[in-house]
Each structure stands twice: as structure tokens, then as C-alpha cells.
Amino acid sequence: MIEANLIGFSTSAEGDTFTAGYNPATAETLHGQFPGATEGEIKRTVQLASSAFHVYGKISGTKKAKFLNAIADEILALGDGLIERCCDESGLPEARIIGERGRTIGQLRMFADLVAKGSWIEASIDTAQPDRAPVPKPDLRRMLVPLGPVVVFAASNFPLAFSTAGGDTVSALAGGNPVIVKAHGAHPGTSSLVGSAIIKAAQKTGMPDGVFSLLHGSGSKVGQTLILHSGVKAAGFTGSQTAGRILYDLANKRKVPIPFFAEMGSINPVLVLPNIVKNSASQTAEMLAGSITMGVGQFCTNPGLIVGLESESLRSFINELGQALSGIGGGVMLSDKISGNYNSELDAALNQQGITVESRSENQEGPNRGRTTLASVSGDTFLENPRLAKEIFGPFSLVVKCREQHQLDQVLRSLDGQLTGSVIGEENELNEFQTSIDLLQEKVGRLIFNSVPTGVEVGPSMQHGGPYPASSDSRFTSVGTGAIYRFVRPLSVQNWPNSQLPDELKNENPLNIWRMIDHQWTKDSI
């Protein structure tokens, strides 16, 4: 574990402020002091990444695949030391971290396979027609190319899968962009271990110096300085709406604005239909209770809002859910800051007029615990108080009891953009609530039937992103192979000599990739 900033293949420790690891379960400071990056170190990092881009942006998909697979190998080679440090810094159980390491490895190998096959670049060729009248048609060829150095802000709640070698990093690297990671202060040691593994993989596979760097320090200093540097061409962020919006605004106020892809949380509304709460209350309550408390509620897909029609069946369902939640209890939260924010925001919400506390788990001994809580409110009160629609990051959910379907639709219409929306009901009642479902669909990036939003499958069909403020651009996903399209742009070349074209666009199609030639998808040569 290197107690320094990783600037390409070199280390640097010029700063006089330090970040230390912290165990939220014991409130103990862990060994290791990680110096915050200075302005000079930040400038050198971006300059090195810019130089690396001129090489890395042109290497073949096969070589990028070897690099990504090598990163996976080096992370695995860290063994139990990585798992132990990650558990210590996050308070998460070993099984969760081992599973998250598996997801991280899976993402790396998935993108390696994607770039090795090569068709993702969407090559398109319109062949020339010099004899066309009245105007000759030129030869036009188009493909996706990388943007340049990308800054990635590591997330707190996934210290591996959304952090140093997480989805933002791997998708940016897969697209041909050097990456600078701003390490999260909650897990500096884990970040250092994984960052060193990436550097080792880069050296072993012949990548240019500067293809990856890792900087420690605060978001207000290091993060904002990186966003404002003219050499940075894009950024990926996972975190709070407050921090994400600050960085997003900075990215757009630059002399040359850059794409800033932020995933900023969600309350993930769940629409429970009448028949399901009447006929399957216990099963539905057990399913939702597991989702609400998974990871002590510290998932961006935590179901924080449940909406239904007032009835005796709904009242029975609320009781069942309350009992299920009280049986699961609370747990250690990721950091003292997250724990403090959860408890203060929860107390503020429960003190709002018209709120009924339905269930609270017992207080647990030890620091940084989050009490599992269920509350309810009438549809009228919810619509009158916009504060009740804000995310509370932790094991909390609010049930909104609507008088009739028109009010239920009003509640759905009032919501901000969300990552997910779930419909839990019987198939024979979906048509009756089609308007409600349509309203929910307009608000979300992923629409779910009879399942919970937690558990984000990593694959080509996943959409993890939704209308603002769930994410800053709902056209893109931060999970799955589609994440690569955030960090590339289209480039057309006209009448270019075949010998000077990239392999993806050459007549002979040496990479044997799928291309659209004169409006037809084919692997044929020209």
C-alpha cells in the first residue's frame, strides 16, 4: 500500500494535508497517511495523461483488452490483503466485499471482450459515387473515437465496483481514454492498493506512462481543480446531488465545457397495486424489507418511497412490512459522515407534520449505526411538502397512502427523475393502472415489475441512469457495456486514402468487425 499519489508510473507526496483510513465499525483510525495532491502535482498528472492520450487513444482493441484483463489479474493477486483493508475502511462484511470484487473483475473482463471484438465503435461507410448527378457523392466513413483524459470520482458505497477500478474507470479506459481517479476519502488504503494494481498492469502490457493516475485529497480542492483543468476532457461522478451539481456547474462554466456524467441518487419509487397487497402482503413485505435494508440501505437503488391506494389491505401490508423491517434491524454505515447525515436527515423527516412512524429497529451499540425506519404519510401531506420526496441515504422508506387513483397519479407526477421505478402487482391489474405506469416510466431509467431495484445486473441491456437529478444525462448508463459511450465521440473522415485509415474503416476490414456499409450491416470488405 503506497502512501502517496500515483502519477502515472511515479509516486509523489508533496502535500501537507493527509487522509487517513477510518474503521466505521470501531471508530478507529487505520494505519496509513495519504497526502492530498498539490496544485503542481495535479498539473503534472493532467499533462502526463494528455501525453499518454496521443498513444493510448490509438492502440488496438486487442491491446486494450490485454490491459483490462491484466488489471483484473492484478486485483485478484492482491488477495486477502485487499479484502481485509476494504472491510476495515467500509464496515462492510467480508462476503459483500468478495462479491463486489467479483463484480469488479467481471466488469473488467466484460469490457475487455467488448473492445477485443471491436464492433462497438459503430463503423459506418458510405462509399463514393463520383458519377452521381447533379453532385458527386464523396466517400464518407464514421466511427467513435476517445475524448481524452477522463477524471473519475470514486464512490463511497462501492469501494471496489464504483471506485478506483470501477465502472467509470473501466469504461473510460475501454474507450481509449487515460483516467485520473480522485480517490474517495472514506477508503484511501483500498484505493491505493487497487491503483497500484492498475499501474502494474499498465507496465506489464506496455501501456504509456500516464494512462492511469490516482490522486488523494478533498473534492473541494483536488476535485474542482481537476474539473477546471483545460487538459481534462470529461468526468464521471457517483455521489450526492449537492456535490455532483457543484462539479457539473464547474464543468459547464469552463471556457470549453466538458461532458460531466453524474449519478446523484434516487428514491426509487415503488408502486404497489391493490390486488398484490390484498393477496400477497407477507411475501411482498419480505421482498421489500430485504431491499430496503440491503447494505444498511446504502444503495443508490434503495426503495425509499412506496406508493399505494389507502385501504385495509394497504394498512395490513404496512404492518407486515414494519414487522419485517424491525426483525432485520440496522447496522454499521459506511462512514461517520454518512451515518451523521442519515440520522440528522431522518430526524428532520420524522418531525415533519403528518408523518407517522410505523416501525423503528432497536438502537445498536457502537458507532455509526443506522436504525431501520418505516414511516407513512397521506397523499395530501406528501403533495403539500416537497421535502418528503428527497432521498434519505440509508435504511429508510416512506409509504404514501393515496385517497384514490387520481391522487396516486398526482404523487407520481410530482416526483423528480429517478434511477428506477417498480410496479408490484398482479398482471391482470396492469391495464387498469396503465396511466400510472406511464407516468412512472417518464420518471425513471429502469422500470421493474414484481421485483426490487437493488441488485444492478452488469450487462448490455442495463440502464443505470435516469432523468435529472438521478443522473445528469438520462441518455447514458453508468453500468453495463453502454457506459463506454459516455467517453467517446463520433468522427467522420471524407475521401481519405485507404492506407491512412484506421483498421476499423479500411476497405479490407482487417478486424472483421460489423460495419454499416451503404446502409447494410455486414462484415464484408469493400
Mean residue pLDDT across the chain? 96
Sign of the dihedral defined by the CA atoms of residues 324, 329, 334, 338, in that order: positive
Average pLDDT over residues 448-464: 94
CATH for 5-15+30-129+138-264+475-487, options being 3.60.15.10, 3.40.50.1970, 3.40.605.10, 3.40.50.720: 3.40.605.10
Task: Express as a percent the part of the chain with pLDDT over 90.
Answer: 97
Please determine, for residue 330, whether its predicted confidence score (pLDDT) is greater than 90. no
Q: What is the model's pLDDT at position 328?
A: 87
Task: Express as a percent the part of the chain with pLDDT over 70.
Answer: 100
Q: What is the model's pLDDT at position 219?
A: 86
Alpha-carbon distance of 401 to 378, in angstroms, equals 5
Average pLDDT over residues 30-53: 97
Alpha-carbon distance of 432 to 75, in angstroms, equals 51
Q: What is the model's pLDDT at position 158?
A: 94
Q: What is the model's pLDDT at position 409?
A: 98
pLDDT band per the 50, 70, 90 thresholds, residue 364: confident
Q: What is the model's pLDDT at position 212?
A: 98
Please determine, for residue 353, whether its predicted confidence score (pLDDT) is greater than 90. yes
Per-residue pLDDT of 131-157, as tens digits, reads: 999 999 999 999 999 999 999 999 999
Per-residue pLDDT of 281-329, as tens digits, reads: 999 999 999 999 999 999 999 999 999 999 999 999 999 999 999 888 7
| Catalytic member of 263, 320, 391, 504 | 263
Average pLDDT over residues 468-491: 97
All cell numbers assigned to 462: 442495463
Question: Which residues lie closer than 8 Å to 312 by C-beta, 6 or more apart?
Answer: none
Please determine, for residue 363, whether its predicted confidence score (pLDDT) is greater than 80. no
**Among the listed residues 393, 314, 379, 316, the one whose alpha carbon sits nearest the alpha carbon of residue 349:** 393
What is the reported pTM? 0.95
Cβ atoms of 145 and 488 within 8 Å: the answer is yes
Cβ atoms of 292 and 256 within 8 Å: the answer is no
User: What torsion do the CA atoms of 171, 175, 181, 184 make, to the nearest 10 degrees?
Assistant: -10
pLDDT band per the 50, 70, 90 thresholds, residue 477: very high
Average pLDDT over residues 10-31: 95
Cβ atoms of 300 and 445 within 8 Å: the answer is no
Q: What is the model's pLDDT at position 362?
A: 84
Average pLDDT over residues 253-272: 96
Q: What is the model's pLDDT at position 162?
A: 94
Per-residue pLDDT of 102-132, as tens digits, reads: 999 999 999 999 999 999 999 999 999 999 9
Domain boundaries in the chain?
5-15+30-129+138-264+475-487, 269-449
| Catalytic member of 87, 300, 391, 504 | 300
Task: Give how far Cα 178 sits from Cα of 109, 181, 434, Å.
Answer: 18, 10, 46
pLDDT band per the 50, 70, 90 thresholds, residue 214: very high
320 classed as catalytic: no
- Written out in words, the top-level CATH class of the domain with range 269-449 is alpha beta
Cβ atoms of 444 and 291 within 8 Å: the answer is no
Please determine, for residue 220, whether its predicted confidence score (pLDDT) is greater than 90. no
Per-residue pLDDT of 60-113, as tens digits, reads: 999 999 999 999 999 999 999 999 999 999 999 999 999 999 999 999 999 999
Cβ atoms of 48 and 213 within 8 Å: the answer is yes
Alpha carbon 378 to chain centroid, angstroms: 33
Q: What is the model's pLDDT at position 113?
A: 98
Q: What is the model's pLDDT at position 265?
A: 82
Please determine, for residue 258, whether its predicted confidence score (pLDDT) is greater than 80. yes
300 classed as catalytic: yes
Alpha-carbon distance of 329 to 350, in angstroms, equals 18
